[in-house]
Structure 1
């Protein structure tokens, strides 16, 4: 939490300097909205697993995934349930204190009403699902590649840039913003932050949530397809 808060102070100072030097809002972000972008991002770092995980890839590599296939529960849903629990405790124990630090030290923008708060929480839930589902697919590539650490690292670096972790996606040059908008990565962080920071309000919330829902369903479905193909390929030696 301390590290989260220190990096929040540094990032908030940088974005405030950028807005001040521009003399006007940048990409729809004025000073309070830019500060909210930073601190909501810091608050969601623990909940939304942008860096992915390696447990499933390791279980595929060692063959232990066969045990998951023998259980009377879909492995993807079981791991997703665990990830939702992880996200919830991180949001409460790590995210809320960091957000409080930002609120005490800076003039932050907030959701303009109850509807925006509810939509923001729904958006966070969808962001957790999208982030999990994307990393799940990357881990399942171990069925064919065995070792996926390099791919996982590439996925993490690309996702960190395009999800809005470092800078708001609306601040990107046109070509990079287009690439980001056609990828699932903004649904992991940028979209919930836009709602919770009050940048996206009213009727504009609906298409934002719709995009997240699309990527959540698409990536979960892709995970099922890849897992089914890997299950047919899997060979485990031993007793």
Structure 2
């Protein structure tokens, strides 16, 4: 579909056909590490079972502990879920690869930041289980928002007018669109990395505050 679109509209949004094909396989490569379809954390189940009480008395930050686990999951899926389909795409369709080592370095940093932003969003969704009876509705809404506003379904650069501007300013853009544009050489790298870092810091900060609120909530319920 992307090939047909860019054949009909050459150089749409500064992409060519090769860029569009590459973007398609990059988004597939991001599904596992960035957990684009949501979930990936056991936290919500531990809240429902009450095991989170044990997690909260450990001499370690619940948020950082969970982040470390998620990094392990993302690293594993990078090798078993990201690399194989990308190699298949390269063999069948051909994809562009950065020629500059600095672009590869920037992409690696952007990739790690995308994983952190994804985690921070999913962590907040998982913690919602402390306030709602069933967090599956929140999970579903989060998945829809992620798919639409990350660039997973269509590149955000082709979204029209104000919708495109809003979509590219939201945190979900930092999960898929931004690292893809860094890889393709379409991004202002310093601005892109700062954008991702700011959203990572903001969402992790929100997660820390939510964890503090959860700790007080659990103490009140237990007392």
Normalising by structure 1, we get a TM-score of 0.88
The aligned counterpart of 1:88 is: 75
Kindly report structure 1 stretches of 4+ aligned residues shifted beyond 4 Å. none
**Stretches of structure 1 lacking an aligned partner (at least 5 in a row):** 1-13
**Stretches of structure 2 lacking an aligned partner (at least 5 in a row):** none
State the distance in 2 between where 1:222 and 1:128 align. 17
Match of 1:207 among 182, 191, 206: 191
Match of 1:124 among 98, 111, 114: 111
- Which residues of 2 match residues 1-239 of structure 1 at below 5 A? 14-22=1-9, 24-53=10-39, 55-200=42-187, 204-234=188-218, 235=220
Q: How far did residue 107 of structure 1 move?
A: 3.1
Is the 2:106–2:189 contact (alpha carbons within 8 Å) kept by the matching residues of 1?
yes
Deviations 1:90-147 (A, max 9, x none): 1112211111111111232222310000110111100011001111011112222132
Moved more, 136-145 or 75-84: 136-145
Alignment root-mean-square deviation, CA: 1.5
Normalising by structure 2, we get a TM-score of 0.94
State the distance in 2 between where 1:96 and 1:137 align. 29
Q: How many residues align?
A: 221
Q: How far did residue 236 of structure 1 move?
A: 5.5
Q: How far did residue 58 of structure 1 move?
A: 2.1
State the distance in 1 between where 2:99 and 2:158 align. 23
Helix, strand or coil for the counterpart of 2:204? Answer: helix
State the distance in 1 between where 2:180 and 2:111 align. 8
Q: How far did residue 64 of structure 1 move?
A: 1.2
Helix, strand or coil for the counterpart of 2:14? Answer: coil
